[in-house]
Amino acid sequence: MQIVMYSALWCRDCRAAKRYFDEHGIAFTEIDIEETAGAADEVVRRVGKRAIPQLVIDGEWFQPYRPGEGLLYEELDRRLGVAR
């Protein structure tokens, strides 16, 4: 499984997603939208807004959080095959 996460240092939900990946030993590639030229534009092009974190799991874009609710842990578990 290949996972890419679009993120930024200031993003609380991005930090939560990184902790989730680290806790479950899930490898991912991080693209900081503030540091990588064109990354923020790519997020806007794909999802219609500058909303992070955004995951690309085996080529499929997925927003792993819901505004006001935070990270969607159960949805991440299902998509990534993590047993609780």
Model's pTM, two decimal places?
0.93
CA angle 29-34-35, nearest 5°?
A: 65
Domain count, the chain: 1
> CB neighbours of 19 closer than 8 A, spacing ≥ 6?
none
In this structure, what CATH number is given to the domain that contains residue 40? 3.40.30.10
Report the candidate in 54, 52, 58, 51 with the shortest Cα–Cα distance to residue 81.
58
Please report how the helices 12-23 and 73-80 are oriented relative to each other, as an axis angle in degrees rounded to 10: 40
pLDDT at 84 over 80: no
Residue 68's pLDDT is 87
For residue 83, name the pLDDT band (cuts at 50, 70, 90): confident
Provide the domain limits for residue 76: 3-80
Reported as a single tens digit per residue, the pLDDT across 3-47 is 999 999 999 999 999 999 999 999 999 999 999 999 999 999 999
Cα separation, 80 vs 56, in Å, equals: 12
What's the pLDDT tens digit per position in 59-76?
999 999 998 889 999 999
